[in-house]
Amino acid sequence: MKIKDRNGCENTLNKTVTVIADIEIDEAFSPNGDGINDVIGPVYKGNVIILHYKIYNRWGQTIYEGSGADAKWDGKFNGVLQPQGSYVYTIQYNFDGKITSKTGGLTLIK
C-alpha cells in the first residue's frame, strides 16, 4: 500500500498479518439431559478442520472418537453414561494446511 504524508512524500507500507487458530475445549461438562453443557468438544474460529478428537478414560481406553464440525462427546461409551471423573482428550486439527495436535484434561460432572 502506498501512503503519503502531509508534505507529499510517498512511501510503501507492507504489513504481514499472521492468523492463529483459536481452538478451545471446556474443562468440564454435565451430560444430565438439561440442555446445558450436555456435550463437550472443540470450539474454534478460523479455517480449522478437526481431523481426530479422542477421549480416554483413566485406564487409557479410547471411549470416544470423532472428527469434523460435529465432534462432540455426550459422556457415553457404548450407550452407557460414563462415571463422574477425569478424562483425557487428544485433538489433531488442520489450520490452513498446518497439522497441529493438542492434549488436555476434562471432567465429567453428574
The pairing of strands 98-108 and 28-29 is parallel
Residue 5 counted as domain residue: no
Residue 48 to residues 52, 72, 76, 93: CA-CA distances in angstroms? 12, 15, 26, 7
Provide the domain limits for residue 84. 22-108
Q: The pTM is what?
A: 0.78
The CATH number of the domain where 65 resides is what? 2.60.40.1220
* Chain position carrying cell 477421549: 55
**Structural domains of the chain, count:** 1
CA 88 to CA 76: how far, in whole Å?
Answer: 14
Residue 44 counted as domain residue: yes
Residue 6 counted as domain residue: no
Residue 92 counted as domain residue: yes
Angle made by CA atoms 7, 11, 14, in degrees to the nearest 5: 145
- Could you report the per-residue pLDDT of 16-62, keeping only the tens digit for each? 655 556 788 999 999 999 999 999 999 988 789 999 999 999 999 99
